[in-house]
Structure 1
Amino acid sequence: MANGNAKETTLHQKILSDIESRIVSGEWQPGFRLPFEVDLAEQYQCSRMTVNKVMTQLAKSGLIERHRKAGSFVSQPRAQSAVLEIHDIETEVKSLGLPYAYALVQRSERQASAEDRRLMDINEATRLVKLLCVHYAGKKPFCVEERRINASAVPEVSDADFATTPPGQWLLRQVPWSTAEHRIQAVGASAEVARSLGVTKGSACLVVERRTWSNLRPITWVRFTYPGDRHTLVARFTPNT
């Protein structure tokens, strides 16, 4: 049974990779109708359920659109209001002319909880490494980092030493990301975050949440919380033409 599951997982990743590469390379243009699930299952000699899971992931990532009876089509590209880079916090701090420091506060490894599954779109069998870190600019806390890393997708994380190396830097070197999503909001500091940032509970903070994927596999979810009076978020973009 275990060998069967491993085979299905390997086929799942192969189909994902094959279809994604055809779309990203432009071989399958926007509007192109993908082969039907039954035909893909026959082509890859796998169950239709495996193909259906692949198509569901592709639809969630925005690469395809599924239409009942008509089939699945490569999505039309959607304009974004702004594009934010995945930046290195150490570089950001040093650009201010301040010395950078980092501290790992907590680390644990466990099975994905209901909240983890909601945040990262993963299943209950997924193992995660959960981290709490504080980044400093000079003597003042710059931001609090709360991060979950998919250990099932990045097994090396179980042995990674984050005592001196920030997880963001480690991930950028370890795993090439293909897709990222940002969510930005203003919040009041919780008691725990307030202690870490050296501010009063309820103080205005800027929160940036990010999810990243590599070849459609969820890699990490991270929340950066910055003191509202010490951080400005800037996005550079160009007008639609």
Structure 2
Amino acid sequence: MTTPKFAQIKQFIVDKIKNGSWQEDQRVPSENELSSQFSVSRMTARRALSELTDAGILTRSQGLGTFVASFKSQSSLLEIKNIADEVKERNGRYSCSVHILESINAIAPIAIALGVEIDSVVYRSVLVHNENEKPLQVEERFVNPELAKDYLQQDFTLLTPHEYLSNVAPLTQARHTVEAIMPNNEMCQWLNLYNEEPCLQVIRRTWSSKGIVSFARLVSPGSKYRLGGHLTFKK
């Protein structure tokens, strides 16, 4: 089966970025240049650039052109850290319990978050991360099977989803929303909360160079967890 021309252009651009030929913030060929190089219409070239822009691989600036995105942008707000490492850095004992590991059909919000078709099969996991045998965080994660096909075969008591996904689909971009919530009964059970207590919820979507990898909801008791950040400004 012949690969569509727009997909060939996307792969060409991704390969240039992955092998270091094109660096962050470097201008990439224009629609006209790509249409000439690949002997396609401008519309086809535009589709390739638009899809890579939507995936966070490229950024477009009105009147200036299209550029390789900064793949370190996520650290300007929240550093993506492995929770097992966080616990160990505090000299704590990390452990994890797996409550759900399954394939499901994606309802509309999950499909939109992962950039897949509604009702297509995605993977879902629900884990509780513990520090010194006490629940610290519930992680509910939805994963694109195309980018992590062996996700359901992993033993997440031995490695975290973050560690596995970082190996098979290295992180290039992440987006977060953070809010305070009141946990429902199921969340209270998972976190061993016996009194109503506000929790910190982080919604996180992560990308690799090939697209959206996962959509996760991380919930921690407000009394046990906090977020910090470090800002670095470019000169």
Which band: TM-score by shorter chain? 0.7 to 0.9
Residue 196 to residue 125, structure 1, CA distance change in 2 (3 Å) = closer
State the one-letter code of the partner of 2:26: W
Residue 178 of structure 2: aligned partner: 184
Select between 142-151 and 209-218 the one with higher mean Cα deviation: 209-218
| Cα deviation 1:181-232 (Å, max 9, x = unaligned) | 2221111112211110111475201112222111151111112101001112
Matched, 1:131 2:97: no
State the one-letter code of the partner of 1:196: W
Matched, 1:63 2:50: no
Do 1:16 and 1:54's aligned partners in 2 also have CA atoms closer than 8 Å? no
CA RMSD of aligned residues (A): 3.4
Match of 1:28 among 9, 16, 26: 26
The SS at the match of 2:206 is strand
Match of 1:100 among 70, 81, 94: 94
Match of 2:219 among 210, 213, 225: 225
Matched, 1:17 2:14: yes
What is the CA–CA distance in structure 2 between the aligned matches of 1:84 and 1:238, rounded to whole Å? 12
**1:128 shift after superposition:** 1.7
The SS at the match of 1:25 is coil
| Cα deviation 1:153-200 (Å, max 9, x = unaligned) | 222325334354321221223322111222211111122111101114
Select between 125-134 and 188-197 the one with higher mean Cα deviation: 125-134
| Bigger relative CO (Cα 8 Å, ≥ 6 apart) | 2
Q: Please, which runs of 5 or more residues in structure 2 have no aligned partner?
A: none
Number of residue-to-residue matches in the alignment: 232
Residue 163 of structure 2: aligned partner: 169
Aligned-pair identity (%): 23
Q: TM-score, normalised by structure 1?
A: 0.78
The SS at the match of 1:155 is coil
Matched, 1:195 2:195: no
Q: Please, which runs of 5 or more residues in structure 1 have no aligned partner?
A: none
State the one-letter code of the partner of 2:207: W
What is the CA–CA distance in structure 2 between the aligned matches of 1:160 and 1:184, rounded to whole Å? 28
Residue 231 of structure 2: aligned partner: 237
Select between 97-106 and 53-62 the one with higher mean Cα deviation: 53-62
What is the CA–CA distance in structure 2 between the aligned matches of 1:159 and 1:226, rounded to whole Å? 26
**1:35 shift after superposition:** 2.0
**1:102 shift after superposition:** 0.3
The SS at the match of 2:164 is helix
Q: TM-score, normalised by structure 2?
A: 0.80
Do 2:31 and 2:42's aligned partners in 1 also have CA atoms closer than 8 Å? no
Residue 155 of structure 1: aligned partner: 149
Residue 125 to residue 16, structure 1, CA distance change in 2 (3 Å) = farther
